Chain A
């Protein structure tokens, strides 16, 4: 297929879609499937098959639409009318909606989300533009929304250097958490001499509480492939790898099918769109190691070895896979590429705040009404994410903290709710943007226990290569455990801080260097909670169970409490 044929195909498919009198889109993301979406699709298809209507009806099982806690979700698209979205749909309800639409009646109100539902109206969809609108296993639906058009455009109109310049103009930065300017990275790889170069998409999303990459790979696999192909053309690589986390078999399966379909249509493979550029993509499945999200560890894993990081430099841009220049970006970063060249780098750069341009996808979860997948412009205040998009905490409970960046990030307290969410501002608060997990916590979460939770994660996932990370995480975990069970002494807090700084400064890779972040940030904003645990043997959130004290210490403790005027029958 060449460019003209692609454009024609896209136009035909779009017309075909527009000519449908009624389209029923059922979200078939994992949460919606767990809530019964498959039965809804089956009921609708059955009904459409038996009803003899003169109009064209389309029933599509789509990828993730976003508000996962409200699933199963049904979007009703009628020609020349705005879309209507229904939440918590049952098969019977879905059929009655179909009947109403076919009978030209008004659509039922039950379960209908308001038209200006803030969950959607506060979002800006760039990466997730077609997620939840197309069947991820059907390449033609992606093409009908202009898919692979950006690839065709750059192949015929731009030189690799112009693409790299465009990337610099767009201001896009790495979405895996590091925030390194993507355009500069592409330039570096492009300028390297070398016959073989590689493009790698990092889909080893290991942060607990984050599932943006999973959703993107499952809901819109072609968008990632298109971004990788553009990157391949720009840096001069003919081979790409997608490293998919082992826990995500569905994502791997969908990507495999997407690659097959794209090669079959000639938008991937040899001589892409009848140009002289060839690009193949292979999938590598991770085997469960958090550290493989680190780029040098990921490369080792692709080459079949233990996923242990190595010292940089040389950076992968100079010596990556099999010592060839290698471009590594997160899958969400690749998800941005097609949009950048469709809307133009300058238009993309117009979205955002300060040095953070474009949008960011977050997995919003924890103690919040609307959990799900969201995409917001950079620089949006945290308050808008939690209270407008997320709908606040259940029952109007008070907000205590938001955790971003997983085990490498930190907690943002209530008094900083108005902070704009971008790379610099989050860093200034001692947290990081991270890959995009955003967990809201209420008064029932103990910040010391949260820090301990992440430290347990890090000690478990430390690869063991460098000493500060291997032993430092264990020591920090022991101290945190002592604080949580009430057997810590004041000097433990001091030692904990020292240890945090030491591990941060001396670890080999990002895992160790960032492991103390949850501790440091909670110490910074919630120090009183640590002190309550240590000095008063009390957990303000009521989460930690304190050990019993030995009798002689109990006597000391009683004296201390009497001196502090705190004798209220509280247990030791």
Chain B
């Protein structure tokens, strides 16, 4: 699979400036790698290979180490995510209350497996190991907003509503 192409132009990219500023603030300490990657992912949405190379050069770290850290942690993604994020919690409480059914319903509604982005790039469907909202089990987040307790059909409906709202505003 080809690497996604990112128009990575170091000159005058405000997103890159954010990353550079973070590195400067942290005095280019190699120990600050994870914090820099957090900032980078927040700015770009994902970590491209060019971006990682840039960070490794600035922090004077081998590229292998930067890639090693970026791939170790679940939080970092090397591919672009969808416009909307739908994360279904599959922690123990949600599992006991039937989160599996919600995942299945969302998968068939979006036509993707959990962990993938839809072909049109609109929705990223993910699962999380526990979002710490166990009293709302089973729960999910749509673009960071918490919904729960949720039923499989209710979850699909909420996702559709989210997409429709955006369609109308366009």
Binds B, one of A363-371, A502-510, A558-566: A363-371
Is B32's CB under 8 angstroms from A304's CB? Answer: yes
Is B91's CB under 8 angstroms from A209's CB? Answer: yes
Query: In whole angstroms, how far apart are the Cα atoms of A289 and B37 in the complex?
Result: 15
Query: In whole angstroms, how far apart are the Cα atoms of A286 and B68 in the complex?
Result: 15
Interface residues of A in 277-334 (CB under 8 A from B): 284-290, 301-308
Is A34's CB under 8 angstroms from B148's CB? Answer: yes
Task: Enumerate chain A residues within 8 angstroms of B96, measured Cβ to Cβ.
Answer: 366-367, 439, 441, 445
**Whole-angstrom distance between the Cβ of B47 and the nearest chain A Cβ:** 11
Query: Inter-chain contact count A-B, CB under 8 Å?
Result: 129
**Whole-angstrom distance between the Cβ of B63 and the nearest chain A Cβ:** 14
Task: Enumerate chain A residues within 8 angstroms of B146, measured Cβ to Cβ.
Answer: 30-31, 33-34
Known: A30-B146, A366-B92, A366-B96. A247 touches B34 (CB 8 A): no
The count of chain A contact residues (Cβ–Cβ below 8 Å) is: 52
A69 contacts the other chain (Cβ, under 8 Å)?
Answer: yes
Task: Enumerate chain A residues within 8 angstroms of B68, measured Cβ to Cβ.
Answer: 306
B97 contacts the other chain (Cβ, under 8 Å)?
Answer: yes
Is B93's CB under 8 angstroms from A285's CB? Answer: no
Residue of A nearest to B131 (CB): A247
A335 contacts the other chain (Cβ, under 8 Å)?
Answer: no
Binds B, one of A86-94, A200-208, A220-228: A200-208
Query: In whole angstroms, how far apart are the Cα atoms of A434 and B23 in the complex?
Result: 37
Is B135's CB under 8 angstroms from A31's CB? Answer: yes
Is B92's CB under 8 angstroms from A247's CB? Answer: no
Interface residues of A in 20-40 (CB under 8 A from B): 30-31, 33-34
B134 contacts the other chain (Cβ, under 8 Å)?
Answer: yes
Task: Enumerate chain A residues within 8 angstroms of B65, measured Cβ to Cβ.
Answer: 305
Is B35's CB under 8 angstroms from A31's CB? Answer: no
Is B133's CB under 8 angstroms from A30's CB? Answer: yes
Is B130's CB under 8 angstroms from A287's CB? Answer: no
**Whole-angstrom distance between the Cβ of B77 and the nearest chain A Cβ:** 10
Is A287's CB under 8 angstroms from B95's CB? Answer: no
Query: In whole angstroms, how far apart are the Cα atoms of A303 and B34 in the complex?
Result: 8
B136 contacts the other chain (Cβ, under 8 Å)?
Answer: yes
Among A34, A289, A290, A372, residue most surrounded by chain B Cβ atoms (within 10 Å): A34
Known: A208-B130, A304-B31, A445-B96. A68 touches B69 (CB 8 A): no
Task: Select which of B38, B72, B134 is within 8 A of A285 by beta carbon.
Answer: B38
Q: A209-B130, A214-B132, A284-B35 given. 11 additional CB < 8 A pairs?
A: A208-B90, A209-B134, A247-B132, A285-B38, A286-B73, A288-B73, A304-B32, A363-B134, A373-B135, A441-B96, A454-B92
Residues of A within 8 A of B (CB): 30-31, 33-34, 68-69, 205-211, 214, 245-248, 284-290, 301-308, 363, 365-367, 371-373, 403, 406, 437, 439, 441, 445, 453-454, 457, 460-461, 463
7 chain-A/chain-B pairs, Cβ below 8 angstroms? A247-B131, A284-B34, A304-B30, A304-B33, A304-B69, A366-B92, A371-B93
